[in-house]
A and B are shown apart, each in its own frame.
Chain A
Amino acid sequence: EAEVAQSPRYKITEKSQAVAFWCDPISGHATLYWYRQILGQGPELLVQFQDESVVDDSQLPKDRFSAERLKGVDSTLKIQPAELGDSAMYLCASSLAGAAQETQYFGPGTRLLVL
């Protein structure tokens, strides 16, 4: 069964450093999502792509976070500089076309610890 791939699975960094996470969605899925999940809470959407275009980044802290999906396939989420409060699980998900009733398929996530 096709899966969403994410790397790395774990990342430890010091505050003020730059970090980057990578996501490869299920083949053929046009819509890609990045969520952040703080310990004890549900995931929160950071950014949604339709192909290479951003359709929702209202919750993305744009002063330090950036996301790109240059060729409309895989995606990178970057944090620069990292802050202590960025410690969380970063989840990537994909769906076929972004329609309202589509199932989203999640990857295993990248757990970030900022020291």
Chain B
Amino acid sequence: DAKTTQPPSMDCAEGRAANLPCNHSTISGNEYVYWYRQIHSQGPQYIIHGLKNNETNEMASLIITEDRKSSTLILPHATLRDTAVYYCIVIPSQFGGATNKLIFGTGTLLAVQP
């Protein structure tokens, strides 16, 4: 499974966009990029996922570089409630024959400042 690298922490001002980077230089063609977040003392929460194309939903946008070696999660207008640890995870596609086990790293602690 491809390994991901994320900065340990980031700050963001409330109301501004938060851009969280993730490096996955060993990703293979059939692996998806997933983002989960974990607010303090809660279970992780799914945010978004993508394969090649950029994706957007009501929570965030996911930008994947053309070579797929890195991605950026964008929270367009961060609020104090977005303070959490954000995990970038690479998961093989179903055709790879693997289970959908999530392998978490240590993530990025995003602190949204008032």
Chain B, residues 6-46, CB within 8 Å of chain A (1/0): the string is: 00000000000000000000000000100000000111111
Q: How many A-B residue pairs have CB under 8 A?
A: 64
Establish whether residues A100 and B100, one from each chain, have CB atoms under 8 Å apart when the complex forms.
yes
Binds B, one of A13-21, A41-49, A61-69, A80-88: A41-49
Chain A, residues 50-85, CB within 8 Å of chain B (1/0): the string is: 000001100000000000000000000000000000
Q: In whole Å, how far is A10's beta carbon from the nearest beta carbon of chain B?
A: 10
Residues of B within 8 A of A98 (CB): 99-100
**B residues at A contact (CB < 8 Å):** 32, 41-46, 49, 87, 91-94, 96, 98-107
Taken together as a complex, chains A and B put the C-alpha atoms of A103 and B43 apart, in Å, by 13
Residues of B within 8 A of A56 (CB): 99, 101
Question: B98: nearest residue on chain A (CB-CB)?
Answer: A100
